[in-house]
Amino acid sequence: MINKLSQKNLLSKKHTQDYRQYLALNRNVAGFNLKKKELIYTLVSDKSKGAYVWDIDNNKYIDLTMGFGSILFGHNYGPIRKELELQLTKSWSVGPISPLAGKLAVEISKVTNTERVAFFNSGTEAVMVALRIAKAVTNKKYFVFFKGAYHGTFDTLLTLKKDLKTNIAKASIPGITQSILNESFLFEYGSEEAISFIQENKEKIAAVLVEPVQSRNPSFQPKSFLQKLRNVTLENEIALIFDEVITGFRIQMGGCQEYFNIEADIVTYGKVIGGGLPIGIVAGKSKYLDALDGGAWQYGDDSIPQIKSTFVAGTFCHHPLAMAASLKTLEILNLSNGELLQELNNTTTAFCERMNAFFYKTV
């Protein structure tokens, strides 16, 4: 079986082997074990369309994850490609700000019911900034996060272990040191223990970071727990951060905030909203987002920025190509008024049911 499969991917396998010396790529060893090693390679592809990708051996695949969740309308979707081609005739470099950034901020603010929006390059950067502004505004240091969540690769979040007495996240990955984890507190998702801990340590906790529906465990949707988190954070000047890099613009137009009818203080987005281009977004209440630029002031009077800004930066933030792809994505989603997402959810549910029935029969 392993042999048969790997025979279909001779060129991808050879490519993985030939370039391994030069290209350091962790996907090339994902899930490595000795028994499966002849199947441990990445599919190499330079052709894709709609639901399909073709690898360099010319096998055709259905991409069930749609570009790790980053291309909702399918690969090489015409309307977005055209938008990129058009933007290439105007400006596709950074420096002055693109007029598309402001427009996109307004549109995202409307759809997600957030007050302000800021653009970065990846979900990882967005989560890093979300924690930074939460700490800046509350002037506190700790944050709470949950097992099973995926929040990207910022160091303070990279472990699956914790100290059972203190609940402090515990170093377990090479290169991630304990000092960087010492303000991160890790709990079981949905546990009462988390709520009590937050209550007891409210003076020190700046933020609770949560992936409301965990991509690793999508059937667990603890609405009442999320409501408790919202209450305890609201009462204690703690920022509730929804990491919606995966669920945003996907579970519903307004993401998990709408799905659970719970308003977060800060929300991170990425993937779908980029329309295939790299993007990371931090949105939320002015109270927190103002930490990026000092908040409201006007020309022609004596108003000034109201709060001291923290530091953020990034050469490629608000890249015109990402802004153009993102605006078009939102335009298409808005046109369907959320029905497209509902249809997709229905199709996916039906597909999962058929797959499950098939596997139950087969096993």
Active site residues: 150, 243, 271
Q: What is the DSSP letter of 98?
A: P
Q: What is the DSSP letter of 142?
A: E
Contacts of residues 339-348 at CB distance under 8 Å and 24 or more positions apart, as own/partner, are: 341/249, 341/250, 341/251, 341/252, 341/253, 344/72, 345/251
When binding is defined by CB under 8 A, the residue of 1, 62, 164, 304 that contacts its own copies is 304
What part of residues 114-133 is at the interface with its own copies (CB under 8 A)? 115-118, 121-125, 128, 131-133
**Is the separation of the CB atoms in 314 and 95 below 8 Å?**
no
d(CA 191, CA 248): 24
d(CA 104, CA 126): 16
The CB-side HSE value for 259 (13 A sphere, CA atoms) comes to: 21
65 sits near its own copies (criterion: CB under 8 A)? yes
d(CA 82, CA 300): 41
79 sits near its own copies (criterion: CB under 8 A)? no
d(CA 57, CA 208): 46
**Least distance (Å) between residue 330 CB and its own copies:** 14
d(CA 112, CA 127): 17
216 sits near its own copies (criterion: CB under 8 A)? no
Q: Is 161 helix (H, G, I), strand (E, B) or coil?
A: strand
Give every CB contact of residue 26 below 8 A, 6+ residues apart in sequence.
none
Q: What are phi and psi of 91, to 5 degrees?
A: -150, 135
**Least distance (Å) between residue 222 CB and its own copies:** 26
Decide whether 42 or 247 has the Cβ nearer to its own copies: 42
1 sits near its own copies (criterion: CB under 8 A)? no
What part of residues 228-267 is at the interface with its own copies (CB under 8 A)? none
When binding is defined by CB under 8 A, the residue of 2, 29, 352, 355 that contacts its own copies is 29
CB burial of 107-140 (b: ≥16 within 10 Å; e: otherwise) equals: bbeebbebebbbbbbbbbbbbbbbbbbbbbbbeb
Contact segment (CB under 8 A) with its own copies among 210-218, 221-229, 261-269, 286-294 equals 286-294
**Least distance (Å) between residue 59 CB and its own copies:** 11
Decide whether 97 or 344 has the Cβ nearer to its own copies: 97
When binding is defined by CB under 8 A, the residue of 8, 36, 90, 354 that contacts its own copies is 90
Decide whether 222 or 316 has the Cβ nearer to its own copies: 316
31 sits near its own copies (criterion: CB under 8 A)? no
What part of residues 141-160 is at the interface with its own copies (CB under 8 A)? 141, 152-156, 158
Q: Which residues pair with 86 in a beta bridge?
A: none
Contact segment (CB under 8 A) with its own copies among 111-119, 193-201, 220-228, 254-262 equals 111-119
CA dihedral angle for residue 114, residue 115, residue 118, residue 119, rounded to 10 degrees: 40
Contact segment (CB under 8 A) with its own copies among 35-43, 213-221, 222-230, 254-262 equals 35-43
Decide whether 75 or 328 has the Cβ nearer to its own copies: 75
Give how many residues touch its own copies by CB under 8 A.
128
What is the enclosing helix (H) or strand (E) of 314?
Answer: none
Decide whether 81 or 228 has the Cβ nearer to its own copies: 81
Decide whether 224 or 300 has the Cβ nearer to its own copies: 300
When binding is defined by CB under 8 A, the residue of 1, 4, 46, 359 that contacts its own copies is 46
d(CA 35, CA 248): 38
Decide whether 97 or 234 has the Cβ nearer to its own copies: 97
25 sits near its own copies (criterion: CB under 8 A)? yes
72 sits near its own copies (criterion: CB under 8 A)? no
183 sits near its own copies (criterion: CB under 8 A)? yes
52 sits near its own copies (criterion: CB under 8 A)? no
When binding is defined by CB under 8 A, the residue of 22, 31, 35, 360 that contacts its own copies is 22
